[in-house]
Each structure stands twice: as C-alpha cells, then as structure tokens.
Amino acid sequence: MDKLKKFAVDYVTYVVKGSPVFYAWIAFLCLLILGLLYGTFLHATDGLRYTGLTDQVHDGLYLANFVFLVGVAAAAVTIVFPAYVYHHQALHKVAVLGEMLAIAAVVMCMLFIVSHMGRPDRLWHMLPIIGIYNIPHSMLAWDTLVLLGYLILNFVGGFYYLYKKYTGEPLNNKFYLPLIYVSIVWALSIHTVTAFLLNTLPARPMWHHSMMPIRFISTAFSAGPALIILIFLIVRTRTRLWIDNAAIDLLATIVTYCLGLALFLTLSEVVTSLYANTEHAHGLYYLMFGKHGFTDLVPWFWGSVAANIVAFVILLTPHWRKNYRLLALACVLAFSGIWVEKGMGLLVPGFIPTPIGEFTQYFPTTLEILVTLGNWAVGFFILTVLLKGAIGILLGDIRYVATTPEMATSASAGVVTAPESV
C-alpha cells in the first residue's frame, strides 16, 4: 500500500512541474473550462432553452460530439491490438499512451451526455429500476454502460502497467493480458452500440440501415489513429520520449485503409439513396444540396468531403505519407472531415425533414459552442496530465526508490541504489 501511495504522490508531483509553455496551455484549458461551468449552470437552472434545439431537431452539437468521441475512444485498439496480438515492438513501447487517450475520450463522451440532457440532476432516470430511460429499454443507457466498462478497463489496464513500470516489478500476465484482450473486443462494442443508438430508429430513414455500425467503425479507425499520430508527433518534438517511425507508419497505414473504406461507404450511400430519389432521400438531399432554401449544412458537407479526399490522396501516396509534415496535414484534414461527417453531417440531417415532412434549420448557439469547447478542454486537460505522467514513467523520470535501512546506510555514505525499471 505504501508503494501505491508513493506512486500517486510521485506521479502528481511530476505532472505539476513544467515549462512556461505547459502552464500557459493548462491556463488556456482552465479558461475554457470556466465557460463550461457557466453553461452547465444555465442548463441546470433552465434546461436547454439557450440552445438552438427545437422539437424538430432535438439532438445537436452535444450528441454529435458524443458520437464522434466514442469512435476516438474505440480507436485506442489500433495501438493495443497490433502491440499485444501481433507483438509490434514499436507500438508495444507506447501502447499505454493509447489507453490514456481512451480514458480522456470516454470522460468527454460522458460530459457530452450530461450536457445533452440539459438537466444533469435528472441523470438518475438512467439508473435501472428507479429511472425511466434505463436498461433494457433505453439504447442510450446501454451505450453509457459499455462506455463506463471501457473506461474501467483502460484505467485499470493502463495504470497497472504504469505502476509495474514504476516499481520495476514484472507484469502478472495472467491478470494483465486477459484485461487487454477484453478491452480490444470491448472497443468494438462501444461504437457498435453507438451506431445502434441511431440506426434502430425506423422513422429516420437516413440512419435506418445495417451499414451504420460498419461505417462508424471505419470512420473511428480513421479519425482516432489520425489524432494519435498527431499526438505522437508532438510527443517526439516536445519531450525526450522517442516514438519509432515504425509505430507512426503502421498507424498511417491503418488510417489510409479505413479512410478509403469510409469514403467508399459514403459514396455507396449517396448512390443508393439518390438513385431512386424517393422521400427517404430527402435528408441526404438536404445535406448535399439544400432544400426549400435551407442550405446551412451544404458547405459543411462538401467541405468534409473535400478534406477527406485530400487526406486520402496524401495518405495513398507512399512518398507523401512518409513525409511527416504532409502526414500531419493529412491527419488534421481527416480528423476534422470525419468530425463534420459523423457529427453535424450525420446527426442533424437525420431529423430533417421530420417524419411528417417538416423542414427546419438548426445551428448551434454561442452557449452550445462554449459548452462544447469546455468539454473538449476537460478532455485535453485530463489527456495532458495522463500523458505527461505516463511519459515520465516510460522515461524513468518517475520510479520507485525503496527506503530500506540498508539504503539509508548507503545514502549516508553517499551511495544510493535504485532498482532497475522494466
């Protein structure tokens, strides 16, 4: 128990020390978090009256970010699976960083659920038996449950690995490896259930098709690894932890294949829906070209398509993909393009037109944008803390030093011996 306490103290002590750039970054995130607190207060007192949501479009920016971030959380498997199943050494060295990203992403998902509900004090309705929207009747409750399970798996697995690295003790593979394998399968389940959250609604023809889970997973394994690559490139330039090119190259290959599949599925959906041009295609037609003078989402759709195509062309060309500056550009384009396509470009047009043919506009209010930025700031704050501590342990800057009587004697003589880290 003393080792565990010392691990926590050493971890926190290391994390709170940093350069002026680090403190400026933390201060910027805290400023955004203040906006989140203000927005949450307004939601708690007045519900969603300050948002752009209506009876016709009752899911907007909050749920769009939730849907997207579930994919980012699931994408940690693109590091863990090659590292532990195929024994990819370059990824194995930094697999724990992927688990830290998954923890931060799941926390953001839950924050967006709270924001989406408008009245956080009514979260008790998701509790079994006593609530209204609970298991097994509510798909959102199922989604929250699998997300909570995924959070626990990554937290336990990630910090168990870091603790053993800190103490220099070997991993107990009988405990650790089953945890990893379960988390791999669980990662696929969280985004599948999120897809079911949408495609089990027959009144929304834009969502109601069996390809939705596959589309979700393909976009998740494009945007998620793209963000991980950007994080790895930042870590290589801002810290002493060197991440091998082989790790980045494999993730870039995964993004290439999955982004190509996502573009193919998008094109297939366009052809399938617009070829017959029935009333079921109104939502997609509104998204792509506008309808009845409503064109607010059209630039978003075509901007997303252009960003994804440019990213795919860069990634598909080996010479450009090996150029890490161009690779970073491709990852930014893919990440932002999929954020639009999976968020505003999927969720909002699913409500337009309504089942009775009503057309209405939705655009996020300033408060929605403020709360959204605050939720992302909380996630990046957690991610910064987790990555900084994990990198310190991987570098050996944070490690356990026993304080036995023998060591005390050695220390008084000017000699201190520390156990080697694994």
Q: Where are the alpha helices (DSSP H) in 242-365?
A: 245-276, 282-289, 298-316, 318-321, 324-342
Q: Which residues are bridge partners to 291 per DSSP? A: 294
Q: Give 134-161 pLDDT, tens digit per residue.
A: 676 777 777 778 888 999 999 999 999 9
For residues 112-117, give the mean pLDDT.
87
Q: Helix, strand, coil shares of the chain as percentages rounded to 5?
A: 75, 0, 25
Both tokens assigned to 20:
């002026």
Looking at residue 148, its amino acid is L
In this model, does residue 108 exceed pLDDT 60?
yes
The answer to whether 417 and 407 have CB atoms below 8 angstroms apart is yes
In this model, does residue 174 exceed pLDDT 70?
yes
Q: Give 192-218 pLDDT, tens digit per residue.
A: 888 888 888 888 877 778 888 888 889
pLDDT tier, 411 (very low <50, low <70, confident <90, very high otherwise): very low
Q: What percent of the chain has pLDDT over 70?
A: 93
In this model, does residue 420 exceed pLDDT 80?
no
Query: Using CA atoms, how far apart are residues 287 and 270, in angstroms rounded to an integer?
Result: 11
Q: Give 45-64 pLDDT, tens digit per residue.
A: 888 888 888 888 888 889 88
For residues 163-178, give the mean pLDDT.
91
For residues 280-292, give the mean pLDDT.
82
Range in 19-23, 275-279, 379-383 the model is least confident about? 275-279
Give the pLDDT score at 130.
72
Query: Using CA atoms, how far apart are residues 302 and 299, in angstroms rounded to an integer?
Result: 5
Query: Using CA atoms, how far apart are residues 391 and 398, in angstroms rounded to an integer?
Result: 9
Q: Output 295 or 105, whichever has higher pLDDT.
A: 105
Give the pLDDT score at 23.
94
Give the pLDDT score at 15.
92
pLDDT tier, 164 (very low <50, low <70, confident <90, very high otherwise): very high
Give the pLDDT score at 126.
72
pLDDT tier, 404 (very low <50, low <70, confident <90, very high otherwise): low
Query: Using CA atoms, how far apart are residues 401 and 6, in angstroms rounded to an integer?
Result: 9
Q: Which domains does the chain have, with CATH numbers?
A: 2-403 (1.20.1630.10)
In this model, does residue 408 exceed pLDDT 70?
no
In this model, does residue 225 exceed pLDDT 90?
yes
* DSSP code for 240: S
pLDDT tier, 399 (very low <50, low <70, confident <90, very high otherwise): confident
In this model, does residue 394 exceed pLDDT 90?
yes
In this model, does residue 7 exceed pLDDT 60?
yes
In 3D space, the residue among 254, 273, 143, 268 whose CA is nearest the CA of residue 195 turns out to be 143
In this model, does residue 129 exceed pLDDT 80?
no
**Mean pLDDT across the chain, nearest whole number?**
86
Q: Output 134 or 71, whichever has higher pLDDT.
A: 71
pLDDT tier, 414 (very low <50, low <70, confident <90, very high otherwise): very low
